[in-house]
Structure formats: C-alpha cells, structure tokens
Structure 1
Amino acid sequence: MTGAPDDGLDALETPCLILDEGRVRANLARMRAHLDRLGVAFRPHLKTAKSLDVARLAMAGPEGPATVSTLREAEYFAEGGVRDMIYAVGIAPGKLDRVGAVRRRGADLAVTLDSVEQAEAVSAWSRRHGDPLPALIEVDADGHRSGVKPGDAEALVAIGRALDGAALRGVLLHAGDSYALSDPEALAAAAEAERAAAVEAATTLRAAGLPCPVVSVGSTPTARFARDLTGVTEVRAGVFMFGDLFQAGVGAVAVDDIALTVLATVIGHRRDTGWIITDAGWMAMSRDRGTARQAVDQGYGVVCDRAGRPYPDLIVADANQEHGILALRKGSAAALPDLPVGARVRILPNHACATGAQHGRYHVVGADGRAGAVWPRINGW
C-alpha cells in the first residue's frame, strides 16, 4: 500500500502467523527468573511452539530439557539435536516402536503412564529390545484429566513395580483445572495443591523402595502463581511463551505480553451492519472460543493495528471458513476504525496452540519492528 510503514508486513501473503520475538524472549525471561527464585528447573513445553527456533530460545541448552505432546514433535526435535525430552501424554502400546526409534537417534525420550496395563506393555517392550524405557507415573492433581490419585498408594506402587523391565523415573502432574480460575489467590492455592499432590505421590513411591528422582509439575497458570515448590524438581509450562487471550483472561499473562498474532487483510465492508470483512476466518484463527466462558468474551480474537496495538473494543465478532467479521463489542461507544480495503490488521488469538496449528511457519518481527525471519513449525502426530 502507498505510504505504508516499512514494517515488512505488506510483502506477506495473508492470512499468516506473526511472532514478536522480543515478547517471546521477555516472557521466557520472566518465567525463568520466577522459577530460579523458587529453586526449580524449567522444562519448557514445546506443544505450542512446535518450532526448533523457538525451542532454542526456551531450553536451557541446545539438547534440552524439553516437554513434547506428540511423537511427531519428539521426532522433529530429536532431528534438531534435542536429547532430553518427556512425552507428556499417556503412552499407547502401539506407539512404543516410534519411541524406540527416537531413542536410537540418541535422544533420552521418557514416556508417561497411569496404569499397570501400560506399565506392563512398556516393561515387555523394554525387555524385548534391551532398552529400559524411562517412564513417569502421571498423577491426578485436581480431577481434571488422567492420572492416579495421589493418595492411592496401592495403585502407585503397583504401577511402579510393574515397570520392572523399564526404568521408573518419577511422577508427572498437570493442574488443568487452573485454567478455569482467574483469582490470584485461587491460582496460588491450585499451585500449592499441585505441589502437595506431587510430593505425596513421590513420598509414597520412595517409602515402597521405588525410585522417584523426578517430580515434575506444570501448567502456565500454576507455574506463574506458585509461591513454594519445595519437593518439586522441575516445572513444565509452554503457552506462556506466546500468551493468548484465554491466558490473559486467567491472569497468567497480560494482553501486552501476547507475542502471537494473525496478519489479515481487509477485503470488504458491510456498512449497514458495522462490519469490516477480512481474509482471516476460522481456518486461520481456529474454532477455539474458550474466552466465551470467561468474564470477557473476545469473540474469535482482538483486532490490532499493524504494530500490534489493539483497537478499542474491536474484535473478530464472527467467522466463516475464510472470512473474519470485525465489529465493535455490543454496547461499545468506541468509533469503528477507518480500515479501507487492503489495510492490514493483526489479530490476537484466543488459544495460541489452536491458532498456531493452522499454520506452517512464523513470520518473525524483530527488535526493529520489521517482519523478516521465517521460522518453520510443524503439525501432526
């Protein structure tokens, strides 16, 4: 566009994913400083990023440590030289050969499980292949999802003993119910409950003569609001690196911390309804409407100018597959911005993981405010 700023955005095909490198670095620095004060190691979760370039910013070193949520991620990061990884999703026996293939590349990939059945499958595979797979027992911090109850000593010990052909490495927890909170005191309490459950499970295993060197906890909200992590050895968290509107609603990040936006182009107007139409529909933004359950419903995303500054009360109010409908929030007294056809806007996503999954690369905005570097990212399982 004539007279457009020299920010590199007009050279990009839209819709596409923009990543603010400075914000990513700042988010990581804050988390590291917080966890350093609490005396625990940081094992970044790479399920949001799915990018080796981002991983290298997040990890303590080029070999890790790291957390992954898919074996595709494990394979990709192993190819990039990452050696210390936890696959933090319950292992399906049919996936053990893929785990073994990653390990044969030199990566120490550990698996997660929460049943004797899984433990027996892991042990049998380990004995067949002469590779004692490291395994962590998933413990249920809050009833959110998978895991053994922390007070179920019988189940914990039975699983640990069923790993006789493998290598029990410790316990792993994820306080997923923290995502439904927003009060700082409630979030701090959730973090303490996660810590206490982890320590209880680890104590049970050790009292039975079983090893438990790793006590791993983590979610972005509990990592952010934890005040004491005594007995914990490491924290896993990931979405905080990018931030999103859902996490801003929780209070785990500020809107100004959000590093991920979708670049879109205005393609039309409906002046009778006060709509501005862009080329970024739900295929670009994802269908995630998680903020609809929060105090502030952000639609499909908050609309910003090309520098990433939010327009007052302008959201993606609705979306079709390839059309985004921008409108002012109901009841707003703000003025609809003058955005002619061809204008570029940036949209803050509800859920960074879901929005990122719609794209194959990041266009990176550097310290000079220009989009230059392209960082590949992966998808799939």
Structure 2
Amino acid sequence: MSAALSDLKLAKEYIGKPANSLPSPAFIVDKSRVANNVRRMLTKVADPSIAAALATTANPTRTLTFRPHIKTLKSLEVTRAALGYSINGPAHDLAVADLPKFDAVVASTLAEIRGVKALVQEGILKDIIYGVPVSRSHLPELSALRKEYSALIPGFNLSLFVDDVGQLELIDTAAIPDDSPWQVVVKIDADEHRAGARVGTPEFEALIKEIESSPLATLRGFYAHAGMSYDAWDLAAVQQHLARELGAVTGAATSARTILKSESHSFLLSIGATPTAHALSHPDVQALAQTGLHADDTLELHAGNFVALDLQQVSTSLAALDDVACWLQAETVGYYPTRGVSGGPEYLLNAGVLALTREPGHGDPSKVEMARGLARARVPWEASTTGWVISRVSQEHGILERVGPVTGSESEAELKPWKLGDKVALYPQHACIIAAMHKFYFVVDGGDTVVDVWEPWKFW
C-alpha cells in the first residue's frame, strides 16, 4: 500500500474516480460479483429438494443450515452479505428479501469476532464458532466477548473448537469465576491431517468422555473441513472429498452416542469447503439422510472463499474466471522481450511477495491451466488469449511471464500488451491470503469506478 494511502480518509478520496487511477499495488473487490457469488451459494443451501431429503417423520421441518466462514474478505459488508442481507447495508435489505437469512459464522481470529459486533447489535448474528483449537492466551478475551455479546442479543452463543483433552484442561484452568459452560465443537480429521481428532481412536473416546465429565464444557457437535478439495480438478473428485466429510461427521456422532451410551444426544454436524459446498446436491444429502444422519441432528454447511473465489476455485471447474470478485492491480515497471521461457517476453511489476504472497496454484498446470503461476493477468482485449502469469516474485517485485513459446507469428500486441506504466489486473491463486496483505479494499460495482473503500479486520 502506498504511503499516500496510509489513512482511510485519504483512501476514500478515490471514490468516484477510475480504478485505473489508484496508486499501485491496490487490492480491488467487485461487490456485484461478491453479491452474485453469495446468491449462488445461498440459493443452493435453500434448494427445496435438499430440505425434502433431510426431513424425517420425527423431524419434518429439518433443513440444511449455513455458516459462512468470514476469513476471506474480513469485512462487515461482506459478512453481512454472506448471511443473506444486503452488502450495501440495512437500508437496502429489501433488494435481497428473497434470499434465505442465516445468523451464524465461523471466525478464525479474535479480530474477526471483535469486528462483527455491529451485526450482533443489529440482531442478525447470534452464533459464532471460534474456528481454531482454543489457546490459553485467547480464552480471557473470548470469555469477555461472549459476555459482552450475550448482553446485546438474547440467546447469543460463542462456541470453541477442541480436538484434544489438553484443550479442556486449558478451559478449566483459565476459567473466569461465574463463567457458564462453553459449548464445544470437536474438529474431526477427515484425512486432511491439518487439525482434528480421529474417530475410532482411544484419543477420540477419551476426548468425548472428558467433555461429558467437564463442568465447563458441553458437547455441541462435530466439524469437518475438506481443505484438500482445493486440489480437485472436476466435480467427481470434489464429490469424493464431500463424501469423506459427510462420513467423518456422521461417524463421529454415531461413535459419540455409543461412547456416551445414549441415543438421545443430538448434534450439530458441520461440513464444507467452498468446492464441496458448491458440489453439494440433493442426491448427496438424500444418501446421507438414508444411511448415517440421526433424526435429530442438524446438518450445517460452511464455506468461506465462496464470496470472492480465485484461481484455485476456478481450477476445480466449479467456478468461472468471471466469478472471481477480487484482484490485485499492479503496474508495469520493466519489460524484457526475450528473457522468458523459450525466448518469450517478461514484464517486471511493482508487486511482489508482500502484495501477492507466494501462494502457488493447486494441481498440475499441464492438466489444469488455471493452476499455473502465482497469479494470472487479465489481458487487454486487443491481445491474444495466451495467458500471462506471475512466475516468480521477490519482496516488492513480480515477474509477469507469457505462457507458451514464441512462434514468430505473434503480433506486437500479443508480445507487448502493456506499455510501461500501464496497470495490470492480477487474479490471485488464493484470495484469502492476498486479501490479508492489504490495508484497504477498493470497491467497484461491476464497472471501473471506485464506489467505496472497505477497511478489513486485520491481524489477530
């Protein structure tokens, strides 16, 4: 971020001006694309055929619920939209009156939980899961936030993640006098090996028993996240990850009932990642309802990246490049006509690791073109469709390289689509990471004019 834009007031001076006039590098969000992405997801969640598949004689009104993860575009405006309300604020809610409304989120940082206070005050957010296993240093503030928000809205709930008995000991030792018991959600390892308890192990049984015996914890449910679905290249591969998620949480619930010797326990079962959420369909839910879902369990879908999307999501084939709602705008500062692969051209841009990150694409670029490079340029219309990607980065500079060999038949526009000083729009491989690098989001609304500036929740 330019020193000239170190203050929000100064940043807002660009409202009404062309995005191309922004100092670079600048992070741009198209709120109309965000709204479209949200509509697509919430419409899927509210599909009547899914509700019909979940309904049982014992629980005829059961439906699929939704909990957006707010880690991607960490802002009040986008979180509000992800819950089914207007991205433009309460005065515009009538425009999205047809969308289903939800009142729960997953947060990965204390900053995010602090940031959503206005939505709690508005009365549209009542339920937060702190989506990383609890740490000792965070418990006092989590406890304070729970008390503060509970005073703002009746029935407010802040739940904690656990996957180890040691975390329950932390809750016990860090307890503040008069603390009510924490509702805890057990993170399940669905073969991702990032975090989570393994069902069927002695450790899982010990964890369930410890929660049951703890005076400061109650078991709310189970949560699985198919992070490896980002590596999938097509619908069939994504559905395999979805099946593992579904099996993981239903297996955990069944095992917990056996351990507790009680069939009366009902649980929240939360599954999802943006690819598997996009892939969820009526047959998946129908099969689950018939084989592994307890009559009183609540099935919940969670996803985070869906609001923005990125090249990793496009690589799964479940999103299109025109759905990607954010990009980095950088500037050409150097041109090298024969330095690239096979003697092709390269540009030097004024955006490196600290603006773009070093997050690679997922998958084999020879099979999935969008997996190539650290970011992909949106090429001017007069140039060919040959791709230009960020192939390598240093701290403050990135190399934009033309994909493919030079044949000698290319036009000048194909080999040099930008002049020095031109702005280049770069679609990121991973929107969640690149968004976290920027102090402000410059907002457009389907065009090239800056209409707003959002200040995201930074750090922890």
Task: Give yes or no for TM over 0.5.
Answer: yes
Matched ranges for 1:11-160 at <5 A:
11-37=21-47, 38-39=50-51, 40-60=64-84, 64-78=103-117, 81=120, 82-106=125-149, 108-126=157-175, 128-152=177-201, 154-160=205-211
Moved more, 228-237 or 91-100: 228-237
Establish whether residue 219 from structure 1 lines up as the match of residue 273 from structure 2. Answer: yes
- Residue equivalent to 1:372: 451
Sequence identity percentage = 30
Q: Quick check: which has more Rg, 1 or 2?
A: 2
CA distance in structure 2 between the aligned counterparts of 1:211 and 1:124, rounded to whole angstroms = 27
Is contact 2:211–2:217 with CA below 8 Å preserved after alignment?
Answer: no
- Residue equivalent to 2:10: none
The residue matched to 1:105 in structure 2 has which SS? Answer: helix
The residue matched to 2:187 in structure 1 has which SS? Answer: strand
Q: 1:38-79, CA deviations, whole angstroms, 9 ceiling, x for partnerless residues?
A: 331110011111111111111145883111111221122235
- Residue equivalent to 1:324: 398
| Inter-CA distance 188–291: structure 2 relative to 1 (3 Å threshold) | closer
In angstroms, what is the RMSD of aligned CA positions?
A: 2.6
Is contact 1:46–1:238 with CA below 8 Å preserved after alignment?
Answer: yes
The residue type equivalent to 1:313 in the other structure is: G
The residue matched to 1:168 in structure 2 has which SS? Answer: strand
CA distance in structure 2 between the aligned counterparts of 1:281 and 1:310, rounded to whole angstroms = 25
- Residue equivalent to 1:255: 321
The residue matched to 1:49 in structure 2 has which SS? Answer: coil
| Inter-CA distance 187–201: structure 2 relative to 1 (3 Å threshold) | same
Is contact 1:245–1:298 with CA below 8 Å preserved after alignment?
Answer: no
CA distance in structure 2 between the aligned counterparts of 1:98 and 1:84, rounded to whole angstroms = 17
- Residue equivalent to 1:284: 355
**Runs of 4+ displaced beyond 6 Å:** none
Once the 2 structures are TM-superposed, how far is the Cα of residue 328 of structure 1 from its aligned partner? 0.6
CA distance in structure 2 between the aligned counterparts of 1:12 and 1:310, rounded to whole angstroms = 26
**Count, aligned residues:** 375
| Inter-CA distance 54–332: structure 2 relative to 1 (3 Å threshold) | farther
Once the 2 structures are TM-superposed, how far is the Cα of residue 369 of structure 1 from its aligned partner? 4.2
The residue type equivalent to 1:299 in the other structure is: G
**Structure 1 unpaired stretches of 5+:** 1-5
The residue matched to 1:99 in structure 2 has which SS? Answer: helix
| Inter-CA distance 191–234: structure 2 relative to 1 (3 Å threshold) | same
The residue type equivalent to 1:11 in the other structure is: S
Once the 2 structures are TM-superposed, how far is the Cα of residue 368 of structure 1 from its aligned partner? 4.3
CA distance in structure 1 between the aligned counterparts of 2:375 and 2:143, rounded to whole angstroms = 41
CA distance in structure 2 between the aligned counterparts of 1:56 and 1:72, rounded to whole angstroms = 16
Once the 2 structures are TM-superposed, how far is the Cα of residue 306 of structure 1 from its aligned partner? 7.3
The residue matched to 1:340 in structure 2 has which SS? Answer: coil
CA distance in structure 1 between the aligned counterparts of 2:324 and 2:313, rounded to whole angstroms = 9
Establish whether residue 190 from structure 1 lines up as the match of residue 241 from structure 2. Answer: yes
- Residue equivalent to 1:3: none
Once the 2 structures are TM-superposed, how far is the Cα of residue 133 of structure 1 from its aligned partner? 1.5
| Inter-CA distance 104–293: structure 2 relative to 1 (3 Å threshold) | farther
TM-score, structure 1 as length reference = 0.89
The residue matched to 2:171 in structure 1 has which SS? Answer: helix
The residue matched to 2:116 in structure 1 has which SS? Answer: helix
CA distance in structure 1 between the aligned counterparts of 2:210 and 2:276, rounded to whole angstroms = 27
Is contact 2:20–2:448 with CA below 8 Å preserved after alignment?
Answer: no
| Inter-CA distance 212–270: structure 2 relative to 1 (3 Å threshold) | same
CA distance in structure 1 between the aligned counterparts of 2:317 and 2:182, rounded to whole angstroms = 38
CA distance in structure 2 between the aligned counterparts of 1:157 and 1:234, rounded to whole angstroms = 21
CA distance in structure 1 between the aligned counterparts of 2:136 and 2:328, rounded to whole angstroms = 38
**Structure 2 unpaired stretches of 5+:** 1-15, 52-63, 91-101, 151-156, 340-344
Is contact 2:189–2:224 with CA below 8 Å preserved after alignment?
Answer: yes
The residue type equivalent to 1:64 in the other structure is: D
Q: 1:54-109, CA deviations, whole angstroms, 9 ceiling, x for partnerless residues?
A: 11111145883111111221122235534421111111123211111211221532
Is contact 1:119–1:162 with CA below 8 Å preserved after alignment?
Answer: no
